[in-house]
A = this chain, B = another copy of it.
Amino acid sequence: MNSHTPGSDPSLQDAPKAGAAPGRPQVVIVGCGFGGIEAVRALSEADVEITLIDRTNHHLFQPLLYQVATAGLSAPAISGPIRHILRHEMQRGNLTVLLGEVTGIDVAARRVTLDGNKEQIAYDHLIVAAGATHSYFGHDDWAAHAPGLKTLADAFRIRRRVLLAFERAERQANLERRKACLTFAVVGAGPTGVEMAGMLAEIAHHTLPDEYRRIDSRRARVVLVEGGPRVLGGFTDALSAKALAQLHALGVEVLTDAKVTNIDAEGLDYDGPQGPQRIPTHTVVWAAGVAASPLGRALAGSSGCTLDRAGRVAVEADLALPGHPEISVIGDLAAAMSHPRRGDPTPVPGVSPAAKQMGRTAAQNLLRRLRGEPTRAFRYLDYGALATIGRHSAIAMVDVPVIGRVQFSGVMAWLFWLFVHIYFLIGFRNRLVVLSDWAWAYFSFERQARVVADPENPPAAIASAIPSTPTPPGP
């Protein structure tokens, strides 16, 4: 086993920039999502030694991941290499970035384990920002048929399935089977599900027509299956109704109060107001359940902390792990409460602004602890919520100072959505790329990233999965 304090390994002394001061407090941050990156930034000028660990080499702008899945944007447009994003912080000389997967946390020995015991890294302070993954509510066998949307790999998987579904339909002679190829189901009508369904309808109705010979892509069916009584349940009734009308205008079928009971390679079963029904389809996108990273369980096993039903770690008011002030848990992995100046604490939603704010608070509390000051409770500043539904329509609830909460929808909300997403994208270059890609897509109806390149699943393997129909031999 290979164990060392980061930066202090004697065999590293040839490394020209290894300026680690062994006396400094060692801060380990797990995960480079919105929370992790914000924590690094807030600590980079402090007299601490930071080690940031992530499973991938990039930070991902998850709010636009559905655009990669629907071939509207390329992966590099919404992601950036962690080392490049943090290059200025890196030049201060106290940040080490490691590509690796944290597989265990030993809170008693104050160490994290990388890649299943290959390497251990000691910490004085730990910030866990490992995020969330999909939850199939105990039906993990659905995962193979209904990929979720959390990583770039997920997005590529969905892009491939969507594009190949039209190709399969073009080669499918049996009418029923062709219909199933041209049916797309999205499970869950939160912002991601609504955005996916809207984009799928746009692809079928505007991007692909006239590019096929035997099928009419406009006949494709896009079904949005929601277990609750309305779409975008996090918004007000009025905005939810507007979103529903916009989805209908795009040609999306919306099923509410419909609980999915089974998903297999040939279709999806649900129990709705009309009793049990089945949708024959080969393309299902899962946008319904979220579960915290398995690192929550690792923390619970090591510290005895409690997890909520989604596997999130219940944290103290200051985001610390109960009984372990040296550990903070933030972002989607934390079941945190917001402590407003007036009124009762409220649960913090799993959105990117909340993760960023938690990253900042955790870093500041860490510095307060180092200075011997008391930590502060986390307070979430809710700026509102946004969801977009296809071309130039969206809904928005925004908190405006003095005026209070403002609701709006339609083109104005869409322009606002556009502005906000461009503004918060990582890096000036990505903003330019996404702006120009969107301008092109808007005026041409084209989607530029309609390319399937997957080494592990050659098209032959997929095409041969098409059920063949026995017809008389040809001429």
Contacts and interface: CB of A to CB of B under 8 A. Distances in A.
Contact of A57 (B57, B450, B473): B450
Interface stretch (A188-196, A258-266, A369-377, A452-460): A452-460
B153 A4 contact: no
Tell me which of A57, A58, A95 has the highest count of chain B C-beta atoms within 10 A of its own C-beta.
A57
B164 A97 contact: no
Contact of A463 (B15, B79, B99, B448): B99
A215 interface: yes
B453 A455 contact: no
A74 interface: yes
A120 interface: yes
Contacts of A122: 474-475
* Copies of this polypeptide in the complex: 2
Interface residues of A, number: 99
A80 B448 CA distance: 8
Contact of A101 (B99, B455, B463, B471): B463
B170 A451 contact: no
Given A451-B57, A456-B455, A95 B2 contact: no
A81 interface: yes
A3 interface: yes
A342 interface: no
A429 interface: yes
Interface stretch (A111-119, A280-288, A324-332): A111-119
A139 interface: no
A3 B471 contact: yes
A84 interface: yes
Given A173-B9, A463-B100, A468-B119, A95 B213 contact: yes
A83 interface: yes
A171 B463 CA distance: 41
Interface in A81-98: 81, 83-84, 87, 90-91, 95-98
Interface of A: 1-5, 7, 9, 11-12, 14-18, 55-58, 74-77, 79-81, 83-84, 87, 90-91, 95-101, 103, 111, 114-116, 118-122, 151-154, 156-157, 163-164, 167, 170-171, 173-175, 208, 210-216, 429, 432-433, 436, 440, 444, 446, 448-456, 458-460, 463-464, 466, 468-475
